[in-house]
Amino acid sequence: MIKNAFRTFLALAFFLPFAVRAEDGGSFDMVRWESVLNNVRVRAASENISAEIIEDTLRSPLFVPAVVKSDKNQSEFKLTLEQYLDRTVTQTRISDGKKMRVKYPTLLSRVENAYSVPPHVILAFWGMESNYGAVKSRHKLVNAFLSLMYDGRREKFFTNQLIALMKIADKNKLDINNIHGSWAGAMGHFQFIPTTLAQYGVDGNGDNSIDIIGSVGDAMFSAGNYLHKLGWNPNERIARQVILPADFDASLLKGDVKKSLSDWAAMGVLNPDGTVIPTGDMMAGLVADVAAIDAARENANANASPDTDVAPMPVIVAYLTYPNFYRIKKWNNSNWYAIAIAELSDKLK
């Protein structure tokens, strides 16, 4: 432990002192850092992680202020749904996805046969998460997790992630110091955190190892397995764009209220061309950009004719959201993300 602490001190002394002081309001707490490292060593040993992996993990630990800063300063700015879709469901992403379908037809078919998740769905997740592997993560995950553990805000969560990563590296003979990901620990083609990988990771290329960073096969099979375990139904669509009456109750448009298709139809929900939506007992939610609707209503009221006092309002564009939509939200709990997956996957069919 003394050796590790000294190495950390040297790194901090040469590279990080001003950043550390700016970040936590004081000098770096070496006692706290040593405690974090020691706790990792003790817990890893108690969970039968090999001495080699423990030594590799703690050989050159480094506190990274930028990681803690990212955790503390996550943006509060929210895009409108239109802005989000403009940024995510791009023509380039659609074109690249179609190229990947041509490049990996056999692999995508194997995933579909094994997990009943169609190729266009796998491709949509792949495109959203890493631009089909083009986005390369720069953070060494060992240092990212240790830095966040030292910070303490979510110490238990990030300790669990590091221990899971150590077990993965141990089991699959991976160099733990060569595993990179986002500042929060997401890694590979589909941006799994270690605990998710530990639960759903699959060897897709038959080499008796699971490497979702270096192997597209492992990454795709793991994504397919995850969606399958979430209950993916290949016979149901994800979402359907619809239009609503201008005075529709916006409190029903956050996706948390479920009604039958017949009930929604009776409330005036229509296809974009004005025809009646399919009816039946199937349950669905409705999602729309409520903030944008509220802003449009305020603007309409502000511009209402003083003679009639009637606000001219357009119809509301929304999405009927089916069970697969809510399975996506277990992957990423965002209505906008799930709609983007629905739109992108439709364009990749």
Quick one: which of 94, 339, 109, 348 has its CA closest to 217? 109
In a domain, 79, yes or no: no
Query: Whole domain around residue 9: which residue ranges?
Result: 1-63+140-182
At residue 141, the 3 state secondary structure works out as helix
In a domain, 342, yes or no: no
- Residues 66, 146 contacting (CB under 8 angstroms): no
At residue 321, the 3 state secondary structure works out as strand
291-299 contact pairs (CB < 8 A, 24+) = 291/78, 291/80, 292/80, 292/81, 292/82, 293/250, 293/253, 294/250
- What is the structure's pLDDT at 294? 82
Which residues lie below 8 Å from residue 135, measured CB to CB, with a gap of 6+? none
Q: Do 165 and 43 reside in the same domain of the chain? A: yes
- Residues 124, 341 contacting (CB under 8 angstroms): yes
Q: Do 249 and 162 reside in the same domain of the chain? A: no
Q: What is the DSSP letter of 270?
A: B
Alpha-carbon span 182 to 194, nearest angstrom: 12
Quick one: which of 132, 193, 123 has its CA closest to 165? 193
Q: Do 172 and 275 reside in the same domain of the chain? A: no
Q: What is the DSSP letter of 180?
A: E
- What is the structure's pLDDT at 194? 97
- Residues 67, 144 contacting (CB under 8 angstroms): yes
Q: Do 49 and 153 reside in the same domain of the chain? A: yes
In a domain, 118, yes or no: no
The β-bridge partners of 52 are none
Q: Do 49 and 160 reside in the same domain of the chain? A: yes
Number of structural domains in the chain:
2
Across all residues in the chain, what is the average pLDDT?
A: 90
Residue 207 has pLDDT above 60, yes or no: yes
In a domain, 297, yes or no: yes
Alpha-carbon span 322 to 207, nearest angstrom: 37
Q: What is the average pLDDT across 280-307? A: 82
Task: Name the residue with higher pLDDT: 321 or 18.
Answer: 321
Q: Do 144 and 290 reside in the same domain of the chain? A: no
Instruction: Tell me how far CA of residue 308 lies from CA of 55, 290, 303, in angstroms.
Output: 77, 26, 11
Q: Do 249 and 175 reside in the same domain of the chain? A: no
- What is the structure's pLDDT at 298? 77
Alpha-carbon span 258 to 299, nearest angstrom: 29
Q: What is the pLDDT of residues 149-190, one digit of tens each?
A: 999 989 999 999 999 999 999 999 999 999 999 999 999 999
In a domain, 70, yes or no: no
Alpha-carbon span 256 to 321, nearest angstrom: 10
- What is the structure's pLDDT at 23? 43
- Rank 10-14, 26-30, 184-188 by mean pLDDT and report only the highest: 184-188
In a domain, 132, yes or no: no
Q: Do 176 and 261 reside in the same domain of the chain? A: no
At residue 319, the 3 state secondary structure works out as strand
At residue 307, the 3 state secondary structure works out as coil
In a domain, 87, yes or no: no
- Residues 328, 341 contacting (CB under 8 angstroms): yes
Please give the structure tokens belonging to residue 245: 């009456």
Q: Do 48 and 153 reside in the same domain of the chain? A: yes
Please give the structure tokens belonging to residue 256: 């948390």
Q: Do 164 and 250 reside in the same domain of the chain? A: no
In a domain, 73, yes or no: no
Tokens 């009221």 correspond to 301
pTM: 0.88
- What is the structure's pLDDT at 16? 44
